[in-house]
Amino acid sequence: MPDKRSVTVGFRSRQQDGETDLAGLPGELFRLAAGWALTYKEPPDESGAETNNTLFVRDGELRLRRRGTVDYEQVFRLGEEAVPGEMTTPYGAHDVRARTSMLASELSEAGGYVEWEYELLMHDQSAGSFRIRLDIKVG
């Protein structure tokens, strides 16, 4: 059985059109055989829908799975050009790719952080550049 801890997550996202800071998001941190899994919930959006996020963190790789009004699955890897992913919006499914320029994490049973920076490509056009940092605290 995986080792599981209740955590609070501080979320910071910077993109070209602004910055988002969210504090105290509830989550769980799991120790896996080859890395970590983090689950956390974002506050409800304008429609009242919650977004559930799951991150799988391994050396040199981050897998994100978002479930909410917009579903998004993406792998982030340094050194690989435009890793494919998928985004599903109320307007349909879109093939997306991520160009990861920075990926860092330090996780332990006491928490830690995960940070990554990437450019999102949709239909071979830039859909924006993002830098995301998650600060994870046990308790």
Across the chain, mean pLDDT equals 91
At 117-126, the pLDDT tens digits run: 999 999 889 9
φ, ψ for residue 80, nearest 5 deg = -115, 130
Q: How far apart are CA 136 and CA 12, in angstroms?
A: 12
Task: Tell me the CA distances in angstroms from 43 to 47, 50, 59, 136, 137, one per residue in order.
Answer: 11, 6, 29, 17, 18
- For each of the domains in the chain, give its residue range(s) and CATH number, in order of start: 3-138 (2.40.128.20)
| Res. 1: pLDDT tops 50 | no
**Type of residue at 62:** L
Residues 6+ apart with CB under 8 A from 1: none
At 49-104, the pLDDT tens digits run: 899 999 999 988 999 999 999 999 999 998 787 789 999 999 999 999 999 999 99
Q: Which pLDDT does position 2 carry in this prediction?
A: 53
